[in-house]
Structure 1
Amino acid sequence: MVENFLLEYAKLIADFPDKVSVKRIELDENFAEVVITADKIDTGKLIGKDGKMINAIKTVILGFKAKDTTSYRVTVKALEN
């Protein structure tokens, strides 16, 4: 559910939406990391000036705890060419 939301949201922001992918990594029973991989140009857009965009995304993800007890860490990475 979180992965689908992040994938669609990142595609709306990105200049190259076809290069955006999202992967969930289970780190613990109630803790997961969601890695957004995008083009090098789009990583700046996803992080935003002074990290404002990624902080807003993390705030929205906190709302998912109402239905799911899992905590999430969101990471943005650039594609390796």
Structure 2
Amino acid sequence: MIENFLKEYAKLIVEYPDKIHIQRVDLDENFVELIIFADKIDAGKLIGKNGKLINAIKTVISSSKSKDATSYRVTVKALE
């Protein structure tokens, strides 16, 4: 559910929505890393000025912790 939300939200922000890919990495029983793969041009847009946009995304995703006990880390990586 979180992965789908993150993918659809990222597609609204970027210039190349077809290149958006989300990878889920289970690091622990209750800890997951979500990696957003985006075009080089779009990686900066997802991070935002001074990291404000990615911090806002992280805040929204961390608020889902009230529904389940899983903690999430969100990372943006540029595709070459």
Distance 1:32 1:10 in 2: 18
Structure 2 counterpart of 1:9: 9
Distance 1:62 1:30 in 2: 13
Distance 1:37 1:46 in 2: 10
Give 2:42's aligned amino acid.
Answer: D
**How far is the alpha carbon of 1:63 from its aligned partner?**
1.1
In the comparison of the two structures, how many residue pairs are matched?
Answer: 80
Structure 2 counterpart of 1:38: 38
SS at match of 1:15: coil
Which TM-score applies when normalising by structure 1?
A: 0.97
**How far is the alpha carbon of 1:66 from its aligned partner?**
1.2
Distance 1:35 1:71 in 2: 14
The equivalences for 1:2-81 within 5 A come to 2-80=2-80
Instruction: Report % sequence identity.
Output: 71
Dislocated runs of 4+, deviation >6 Å:
none
RMSD: 0.5
Distance 2:15 2:67 in 1: 32
In structure 1, the gaps of 5 or more residues are none
**How far is the alpha carbon of 1:39 from its aligned partner?**
0.2
In structure 2, the gaps of 5 or more residues are none
